[in-house]
Amino acid sequence: MEPDSLQTEVILTHPRESLGKVQLDWTPQPGNYLDFEGKTYAVLERRHRYKLQAGRYRLHNIAIYVQSAKRPSEKSLVAGRWVIGDATCCYNAHSELIRCAVNPDGPCESCRFYEKLEAI
């Protein structure tokens, strides 16, 4: 079985329960979004599970821990990765999971707390 087509178990973090298994043709990373059985989830954590075969450990499957989420409409590219919201604001968390502390649900557009990030 090729690594890019391993069976992936989708586990909801709270309440902790397995939502099922799926074959993915991409490697889910924390901060990615996954549409599964008609709902959207944010990937929080990924764990690899190995199996001992012929004296060697081989990747057997992947478990991803998710929470229910909606895809953010605002994104910024920072150092080669996408983050939520307007990264030019000094309050932006530069994270794939959270926008900022003062306005975590957004939107950034017309946010009364916006302050342009000063260059260092």
DSSP assigned state of 116: B
Q: Three-state SS for 44?
A: strand
Residue pLDDT, tens place only, 44-94: 999 998 999 999 999 888 999 999 988 877 888 888 778 888 888 999 988
Asked if 93 and 86 touch (Cβ cutoff 8 Å), the reply is: no
7-33 burial by CB neighbour count: b if 16+ within 10 A, else e? ebbbbbeeeeeebeeeebeeebeebbb
Residue pLDDT, tens place only, 2-23: 445 678 999 999 899 999 999 9
Q: Where are the domains of the chain?
A: 3-68, 72-115
Confidence of residue 1 (pLDDT cuts 50, 70, 90): very low
Peptide bond into 15 cis (omega under 30): yes
Q: What is the pTM of this model?
A: 0.67
